Chain A
């Protein structure tokens, strides 16, 4: 079987961080290859390289070779990739809602007919002339119908896309890629995330049909049952390495799950507690929590957190793990019931949660957690000032002003305690490194003096050295201040190193609550849902 795509020895560094370490990947004509791996395993980087995304080239390029149809090619832009016959079915739809199905399928590949004017202008400037040609709607519609037929979508080509259901849009997206005359390789990047069961089933059928026409398919998904249903071959990535390549006959869901997660856990000795954590005292009790967080929907999560423990929430991106903390903190609209210390916590009320001494460090540090252009001290103190009236000095009855001296003193204390590297408490946080910004967030949370702290992605965007320090700070907060901490993280290893228990969230629900030293295969299966 001739190979359409051959990637050999692909390696890539981002700012000294090796995200791909010599990966080989090949897709044959009419073959369906599944690419699986945890978040951060290097799948997206590999696809960025394949599509010549600017981010790859602006960060120093990559090493290794790309061959398409047996010929070495240098893909330096997405357009080059398209010209080579590589198509991408995007996770977010790249469809114009106001255009018809046919116009979307033919976007920027419209069929045109020359006119007198276009010929005249074309004599001077060929490209300009081509842009003045008239659209040939009849021919475009005919092509669109053919493409729709290939993906098996029964919808009129002159329907406006904005009015169609989500599932249809996914198929139109595929039809657009199929319509390219030179389409040889199609990449499906988690296409089934938004589809219903029956639509997902049809998607797999469409893939098989396309493969039987000789198109090579690279399928990226977290749904292992889908992998088992369509894959001819399965490639497992972990930590930037290709850890396994399985034929369909060799594979099983358990085996794939184990390969995805498997890593040696460095179980470090955590400092002992001076207090006891027992099942009798519950700090938090979630009952069927639902959160409408875009991209991370939670459809019904229930678990309990014991007072004084460090509880982890893990899972794959887009499966809802981030939604849990955001819902409890009141950032995104939520429903269900949340009990804190046995009493109802008001939902959709960020101030109410804060008053009940629940603090939240958002995963979106720069977007939600900080005022980037304000000073370190104001960032540390402002939330407490607003919620608890700290750092205010009363001047007249009814007139209280910010007490700068008090705030500065507190900020200096925090800077020293957390070792925040800065020029002084009045430095704008924008100029701090990611790790120091995270420490400012932690200082902000400590200032609130919570007894329940939610931390999401505490080490995202933090350099390697600072990662461990931040985790140590969290453990210290738990051990010394008896703070109950709920950590949400994409890095399972991180959770396994500090947590007492870990809940794995998949497709908006808790699939299992595991001990940190549970077998890899359990984590893998739980994550796949």
Chain B
């Protein structure tokens, strides 16, 4: 019998098998990718900025016993609706971003509430319901923006509509709100040259182009000099969210969520409003996902109207699981670590595929396989253990 706190490497590895495996995999892939640390650091920082908020939005429903909330895709849709409206109204900068964040809240609340109602009707299979709900909502979303906007819904903005006069363009330029949050305060590190600070995007004009790397292989030639931009502002917001989740879980509401998450029946007997608590958890998660998606979009600078949101659920869930979380247990640290690992894998695997097989496509297929595979594995392990306990 080993004491759980004893420094015991094997035991540690066994208890944290998933993250340990992925750390090893990531390190291998980093080496195989043949890229310098500056390039990797830059990429990983960017990915953390973009995705950690969304991954964090999954924690609350896990603790409330709803499992992995694939319904956060609806939150992302709310965010996209809000950001389209903001662009349409010609708002820009931080005020535009904040307006979008404010507008996304009522939308996400409504969506989250509806998803929560579905979950309460499908207790015990929330996850598959959430997944299908996200597909279904995606259909409605396409119906709305491809066909109804400009026809049934009076909306005339040639900049946003397709040439036919109805339906939104496939991409929306988000330049007005690009880096709105990142640039509140950012630090740029250029190897061998030191760090430069920028406040409120003052140095935006000459800020490094390193954030967008459409072709990582080509970037490789730029060598060691690639600057790494660290958007301190966004990281502060993410840290704030982590604290807020902690604070929420230490309230009476958070305690109720944990109780409902462990056993709905006992919680009900104790007088906790089970269904309502679950609804609140889903609504909170959806609103956070909407904000998370806005953080992602302001960093990206463009919106793929019909695809930006689609992968959000899968990436978020895979990230959380890679960090060592399970269907019933998740912490802020697991979310952050998972985002870091999963996206490192995502960046490096095509490069490693190129090195190994001379074909980046293998790496691309590999990372998709890992994303799906890790979710399948985690779900199977969870159900497996759950079954054994009975």
Contact = CB atoms under 8 A, between A and B. Distances in A.
Contacts of B220: none
Interface in A98-143: 98-99, 103, 107-108, 110, 112, 115, 118, 130-135
Given A108-B270, A108-B272, A135 B251 contact: yes
A133 B252 contact: yes
A95 interface: yes
Interface string B263-274: 100110111100
B25 interface: no
Contacts of A103: 255
A303 interface: no
Given A96-B263, A97-B262, A135-B250, A110 B255 contact: yes
Contacts of A95: 266
Given A94-B266, A94-B269, A99-B262, A108 B251 contact: no
A108 B259 contact: yes
A110 B258 CA distance: 13
Contact of B252 (A94, A96, A98, A112): A112
Contacts of B239: none
Interface residues of A, number: 22
Contacts of A78: 269
Contact of B270 (A107, A115, A133, A134): A107
A131 B259 contact: no
A98 B253 CA distance: 17
Contacts of B247: 134
Contact of B256 (A82, A97, A118, A131): A131
A53 B262 CA distance: 23
A99 B63 CA distance: 13
A103 B255 CA distance: 9
Specify the main secondary structure of chain A where it touches its partner: loop
B271 A132 contact: no
Contacts of A133: 251-252
Nearest to B269: A94
Contacts of B252: 110, 112, 130-135
A130 B263 CA distance: 22
Interface in B269-325: 269-272
A47 B272 CA distance: 22
A202 B272 CA distance: 32
Contacts of A97: 262
Contacts of A107: 259, 266, 270
Interface in A123-166: 130-135
Question: 5 tightest A-B contacts by CB?
Answer: A108-B270, A131-B253, A96-B262, A107-B270, A131-B252
Given A112-B252, A115-B251, A132-B253, 12 more contacts: A78-B269, A94-B266, A94-B269, A96-B263, A103-B255, A108-B267, A110-B252, A112-B251, A131-B251, A133-B251, A133-B252, A135-B251
Interface of A: 78-79, 82, 94-99, 103, 107-108, 110, 112, 115, 118, 130-135
26 contacts: A79-B271, A94-B266, A94-B270, A95-B266, A96-B259, A96-B262, A96-B263, A96-B266, A97-B262, A98-B262, A108-B259, A108-B271, A110-B255, A112-B252, A115-B251, A130-B252, A131-B253, A131-B256, A132-B251, A132-B252, A132-B253, A133-B251, A133-B252, A134-B250, A134-B252, A135-B251
